[in-house]
């Protein structure tokens, strides 16, 4: 069988079949059209080893000599008619020998469908690989039970090979209010595993796992990176064997007996998205962004659906839902230029705090005697969209629905009592509604459908505020079923209300993945609005997700989650590089803060077309407490950069910093646009006797000079930033 060669955007993926199974023999830099006889890749056979070369297949398996983590693990009961079968002994057909049945390329040459089977084991696996135009690789498998008895699936992994010069591994971790922080280490022999058992993606989940050459950085080095698009339990791993081979992979983490396939049934893996870059991590980001922005459902400048300025009421009023203050807040927001007003938690029956009400998705008549109509009509009358917070997957025991239907609550044990059996531990005073129960699913669908049908709602902030510990249905683990049921709920509501945008919030960033983003229009990266924390959270969330999908809000002067105090310019600049909004009682803003906020909103509206369509760039700086990042138009015509002092610098002066990504053959003017000398916090932003010469009037220079020589930065105070606007020479601008 001839090899298959997928090529796109400087990346090649080469599949060979000489061993009888599918094997990826190259994933990385483009190879060109001409290929040699791949027999030259046959490796030597060492002493004290198998007598044939070991194949690291598309699904690595022991039947081919692979001694690392297998791609498929599962088994079935003993054959019928045997004593072992009558005793229910499992573990038979445990080691498949999958061999290629068919392998076909798509007409465009960028995709392939490969079918492998083992008739004796009664399994067949169809694998689909697509190399998208921007170089992003998409891989998934579907396992069918072709045998006569049930097949218990333990794991079906999706793996990709990485070469020996990938010697460092970078992944992300975190916690509530500190999501997506990087960690890296040298790759050593053995299996490195990150397990996510939260029943959701998890605050500590790695949005990206990247293996790269020594010292790979934002702009340099070769990098192979992957993201696993699944919102439930999962594992991500790198398997480094004694023979020198390395496999990067991921799989759904299944509970005991969670997926048992009847004869003829099939299981499909979540998708693994991956990219190769010879330009560092920014090249990985570019591949993900191009894929996102090519989707028909994408929101942002490239789709013509601009991202409105948001005001969310949570840190402004919390549960204090009185009509008059909310009307005042709406009027204050509209005066600033806000375009979407979102009413957060507290509007439904019995919801005075977080102890009660979840599950009773009816407008609280005592709090809202005329329903939400007076607020909705005032908000829309002011020219803003109206949004609403919901948490459909959760339930408080102190709720009408929990009292009426205790069997709808997720429990680890089979129902053995009238009340449904033992409950798992509470989290934020709440439990999980069992969406695998058709009646519970239908109830939630009908209530949300009614809310959206009866009110002029353009946006849902969809929250999920707890882990799914001890998650079971009818006494068996069921995170898999719950995740798919949640996906169906999103899909059904989007089909019924296609005009409504949905945000994925999960105590902040605990459900941020491409599985949920197939069904939602943005994520809430973190419950932390502290601008200093947000600099890191947003940088690494946006390593995969374009900024138009990442909610970024100006929080209160005094951060509610960290206690830090930051000036308005730093908070606004941080929020500009995302889907900009506010979560703050802006009625309390000082006049100077309000004026700076108004200018920031104008800047966002002027530049959101660039921010939400351009190329993300992150400079490589030697000073760890100094950051420079930005976005550059694809044609190189303009750019927007933020220079940030994350802490005190090791040197007296920050030195000259290059602006990456600009067209080397254009001439640009660079201006500081926030803060400016007219702002009250201008002087407080810097620690210097005199600024660099260019800061007052701007600097004009060729793009090559700006990238290679750079500009001397002002001496920024710790936890301060300056916004730099880059335009073609002589172009006049105003905010």
Residue ranges of the domains in the chain? 4-293, 309-407+431-471+485-601, 616-728
Residue 266: which residues within 8 A CB-CB, separation 6 or more?
142, 143, 144, 145
577 vs 629: CA distance, rounded Å: 9
The β-bridge partners of 26 are 14
Which pLDDT value is given to residue 418?
Answer: 60
Contact in structure between 244 and 162 (CB atoms under 8 Å) = no
Nearest to 343 by CA among 576, 583, 127, 160: 583
Which pLDDT value is given to residue 77?
Answer: 84
Superfamily of domain 616-728: Golgi alpha-mannosidase II (2.60.40.1180)
Nearest to 251 by CA among 302, 203, 311, 191: 191
728 vs 723: CA distance, rounded Å: 17
Classify the phi-psi angles of 294: left when phi > 0, otherwise alpha if psi is within -120 to 50, otherwise beta: alpha
Nearest to 231 by CA among 521, 435, 468, 498: 468
Which pLDDT value is given to residue 480?
Answer: 98
**CA distances to 115, 142, 377, 482, 693 from 266, in Å:** 14, 7, 49, 18, 67
DSSP SS3 for 705:
helix
Residues classed as catalytic: 463, 527
Q: Please determine whether the domains at 4-293 and 309-407+431-471+485-601 fall in the same fold group of CATH.
A: no
615 vs 545: CA distance, rounded Å: 12
Q: Does domain 4-293 have CATH number 3.40.309.10?
A: no
Residue 191: which residues within 8 A CB-CB, separation 6 or more?
68, 69, 237, 238, 239, 240
Contact in structure between 515 and 230 (CB atoms under 8 Å) = yes
How far the first Cα of the chain sits from its last, in Å, is 62
Which pLDDT value is given to residue 491?
Answer: 98
- 309-407+431-471+485-601: CATH number: 3.20.20.70
51 vs 572: CA distance, rounded Å: 65
Secondary structure letter of residue 374 according to DSSP: H
Helix (H) or strand (E) holding 288: helix 281-293
Which pLDDT value is given to residue 735?
Answer: 58
Mean pLDDT by 10 residues, the chain (735 residues): 95 96 97 92 91 94 95 91 80 94 94 97 98 97 96 98 97 98 97 98 98 98 98 98 96 97 97 98 98 93 86 97 97 98 98 97 97 98 98 98 96 72 94 98 98 98 96 94 98 97 98 98 98 98 98 97 97 98 97 96 98 98 97 97 97 96 97 92 92 94 97 97 93 54
Task: Match 């015509």 to its residue by tokens.
Answer: 637
Residue 194: which residues within 8 A CB-CB, separation 6 or more?
171, 173, 205, 206, 209, 235, 236, 237
């Amino acid at each position: 069988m001839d090899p298959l060669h997928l090529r796109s955007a400087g990346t090649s993926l080469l599949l060979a079949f000489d061993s009888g199974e599918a094997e990826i023999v190259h994933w990385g830099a483009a190879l060109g059209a001409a290929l040699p006889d791949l027999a030259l890749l046959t490796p030597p056979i060492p002493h004290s080893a198998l007598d044939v070369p070991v194949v690291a297949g598309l699904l690595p398996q022991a039947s081919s000599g692979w001694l690392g983590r297998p791609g498929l693990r599962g088994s079935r009961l003993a054959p019928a008619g045997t004593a072992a079968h009558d005793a229910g002994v499992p573990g038979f057909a445990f080691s498949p020998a999958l061999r290629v049945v068919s392998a076909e390329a798509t007409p465009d040459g960028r995709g392939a469908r490969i079918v492998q089977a083992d008739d004796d084991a009664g399994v067949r696996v169809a694998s689909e690989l697509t190399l998208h135009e921007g170089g992003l690789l998409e891989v998934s498998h579907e396992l069918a039970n072709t045998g006569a008895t049930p097949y218990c699936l333990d794991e079906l992994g999706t793996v990709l090979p990485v070469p020996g010069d990938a010697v460092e591994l970078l992944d992300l971790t975190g916690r509530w209010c500190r999501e997506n922080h990087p960690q890296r280490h040298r790759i050593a022999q053995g299996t490195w595993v990150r397990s996510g058992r939260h029943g959701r993606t998890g605050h500590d989940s790695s949005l990206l796992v990247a293996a790269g050459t020594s010292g790979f950085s934002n702009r340099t080095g070769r990098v192979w990176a992957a993201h696993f698009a699944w919102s439930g339990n999962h594992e991500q791993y790198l398997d480094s064997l004694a023979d020198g081979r390395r496999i990067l992979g991921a799989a759904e983490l299944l509970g005991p007996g969670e997926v048992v396939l009847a004869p003829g049934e099939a299981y499909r893996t979540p998708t693994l998205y991956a990219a190769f870059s010879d330009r560092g991590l920014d090249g990985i980001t570019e591949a993900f962004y191009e894929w996102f922005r090519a989707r028909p459902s994408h929101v942002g400048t490239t789709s013509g659906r601009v991202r409105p300025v948001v005001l969310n009421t949570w840190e402004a009023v919390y549960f204090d839902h009185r009509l008059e203050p909310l009307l005042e807040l709406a009027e204050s927001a509209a005066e600033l230029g806000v375009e979407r007003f979102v009413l957060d938690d507290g509007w439904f029956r019995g919801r005075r705090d977080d102890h009660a009400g979840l599950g009773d998705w009816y407008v609280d008549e005592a709090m809202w005697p005329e329903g939400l109509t007076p607020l909705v009509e005032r908000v829309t009358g002011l020219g803003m969209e109206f949004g609403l917070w919901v948490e459909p997957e959760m339930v408080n025991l102190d709720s009408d629905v929990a009292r009426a239907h205790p069997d709808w609550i997720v429990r680890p044990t089979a129902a053995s009592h009238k009340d449904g059996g033992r409950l798992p531990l509470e989290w934020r005073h709440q439990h999980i509604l069992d969406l695998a129960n058709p009646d519970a699913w239908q109830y939630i669908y009908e209530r949300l459908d009614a809310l959206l049908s009866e009110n002029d709602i353009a946006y849902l902030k969809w929250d999920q505020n707890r882990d799914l510990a001890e998650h079971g249905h009818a006494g068996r683990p069921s995170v898999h079923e719950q995740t798919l049921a949640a996906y169906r709920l999103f899909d059904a509501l989007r089909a019924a209300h296609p005009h409504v945008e949905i945000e994925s919030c999960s105590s902040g960033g605990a459900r941020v993945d491409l599985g949920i983003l197939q069904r939602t229009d943005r994520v809430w990266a973190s419950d932390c609005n502290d601008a200093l924390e947000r600099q890191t959270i947003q940088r690494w969330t946006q390593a995969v997700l374009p900024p138009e999908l990442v909610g970024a809000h100006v929080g209160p002067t005094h951060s509610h989650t960290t206690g830090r105090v930051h000036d308005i310019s730093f908070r606004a600049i941080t929020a500009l590089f995302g889907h900009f909004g506010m979560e703050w009682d802006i009625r309390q803003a000082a006049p100077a803060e309000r004026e700076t906020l108004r200018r920031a909103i104008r800047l966002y509206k002027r530049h959101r077309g660039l921010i939400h369509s351009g190329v993300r760039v992150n400079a490589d700086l030697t000073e760890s407490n100094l950051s420079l990042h930005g976005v550059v138009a694809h044609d190189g015509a303009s750019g927007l950069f933020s220079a940030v002092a994350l802490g005190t610098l090791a040197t007296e002066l920050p030195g000259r910093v290059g602006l990456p990504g600009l067209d080397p053959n254009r001439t640009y003017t660079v201006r500081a646009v926030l803060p400016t000398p007219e702002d009250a916090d201008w002087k407080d932003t810097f620690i210097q006797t005199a600024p660099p010469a260019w800061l007052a009037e701007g600097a004009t220079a060729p793009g090559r000079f700006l990238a290679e020589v750079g500009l001397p930065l002002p001496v920024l105070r710790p936890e301060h930033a300056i916004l730099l606007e880059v335009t073609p020479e002589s172009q006049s601008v105003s905010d």
